């Protein structure tokens, strides 16, 4: 089996979510990811991972909201795609990171995707950049303080146009965008990759930035 992780939010959708772990294991996967784990207790998820010999390797920080109900509403009905770059939603972003950290620690998950969010109507990229940088700096410091980034990676997302945000591993962000964000936010160890969207299932990953500048304390 190639070293891919089964995305349980996209695969085996004919099954209830918790049953998808077993299906992935039966198909030979040893790692899984998902969009949002927050509708389930960590004990339910860790049990499925352990029973099926799987490693959780990635999930998203909340797209908005602060608990399971509001997170689902933000994604499905509210059209929220993250809060990191959105002025006025800093407290919501921090609450989401704290919740994601709780799940990452419980699931022994090495990566959290911090969702950038959409640029609000009437604002430009440069208007939201200070909020984005400040939020990522705070998140880097928080994750480092809690020990996550000492052994784990943090997946950083860049706002790349006015209508959507993209995961660095799937979005066509410019390398200089990523490098400047990493430098500004003092994120330590990051290995960022870009895969062309049309070929992301089969193409080898192409490194964009590796070994970003490090500032002690992440401040």
Look at residues 39, 56, 73 and tell me which one is the last residue of a structural domain.
Answer: 56
Residue 22 has pLDDT above 90, yes or no: yes
Residue 82 backbone dihedrals phi, psi, to 5 degrees: 120, 165
pTM equals 0.71
Whether 132 and 35 share a structural domain: no
Print the SS3 string covering 118-168: CCCCCCCHHHHHHHHHHHHHHHHHHHHHCCHHHHCCCECEEECCCCCEEEC
Residue 6 is predicted with a pLDDT of 93
Strand partners, 193: 207
Whether 51 and 83 share a structural domain: no
Whether 122 and 211 share a structural domain: yes
Whether 173 and 81 share a structural domain: yes
Look at residues 56, 76, 102 and tell me which one is the last residue of a structural domain.
Answer: 56
Between 172 and 79, the higher pLDDT residue: 79
Whether 50 and 149 share a structural domain: no
Tally the domains of the chain.
2
Residue 15 backbone dihedrals phi, psi, to 5 degrees: -105, 155
The mean of the pLDDT values for the chain is 73
Whether 173 and 188 share a structural domain: yes
Residue 3 is predicted with a pLDDT of 73
Domain housing 119: 61-218
Residue 174 has pLDDT above 70, yes or no: no
Residue 129 is predicted with a pLDDT of 85
The mean pLDDT value for 64-89 works out to 91
Look at residues 16, 31, 56 and tell me which one is the last residue of a structural domain.
Answer: 56
Residue 147 is predicted with a pLDDT of 54
Whether 92 and 157 share a structural domain: yes
32-55 per-position pLDDT tens digit: 999 999 999 999 999 999 999 999
If we measure between CA atoms, which residue out of 161, 163, 156 comes closest to residue 209? 156
% residues pLDDT > 70 (the chain): 64
Whether 101 and 48 share a structural domain: no
Whether 168 and 120 share a structural domain: yes
Whether 85 and 8 share a structural domain: no
Highest average pLDDT, of 8-22, 64-78, 124-138, comes from 8-22
Whether 136 and 189 share a structural domain: yes
CA distance 107 to 125: 35
Whether 114 and 198 share a structural domain: yes
Between 201 and 6, the higher pLDDT residue: 6
């Amino acid at each position: 089996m190639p070293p891919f992780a089964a995305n349980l939010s996209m695969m085996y959708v004919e099954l209830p979510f918790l049953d998808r772990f077993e299906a992935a294991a039966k198909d030979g996967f040893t790692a899984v990811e998902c969009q949002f784990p927050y509708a389930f207790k960590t004990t339910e998820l860790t049990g499925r991972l352990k029973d099926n010999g799987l490693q959780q390797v990635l999930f998203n920080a909340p797209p908005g909201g602060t608990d399971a109900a509001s997170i689902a509403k933000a994604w499905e009905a509210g059209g929220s795609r993250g809060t990191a770059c959105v002025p006025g939603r800093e407290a919501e972003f921090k609450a989401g990171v704290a919740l994601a950290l709780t799940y990452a620690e419980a699931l022994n998950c090495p990566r959290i995707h911090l969702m950038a969010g959409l640029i609000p109507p009437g604002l430009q990229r440069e208007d939201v950049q200070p909020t984005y940088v400040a939020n990522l700096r705070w998140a880097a410091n928080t994750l480092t303080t809690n020990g996550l980034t000492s052994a784990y990676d943090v997946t950083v997302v860049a706002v790349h146009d006015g209508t959507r945000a993209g995961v660095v591993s799937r979005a066509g962000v410019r390398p200089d965008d990523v490098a400047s964000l990493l430098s500004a936010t003092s994120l330590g160890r990051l290995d960022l990759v870009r895969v062309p969207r049309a070929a992301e299932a089969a193409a080898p990953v192409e490194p964009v930035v590796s070994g970003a500048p490090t500032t002690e304390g992440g401040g």
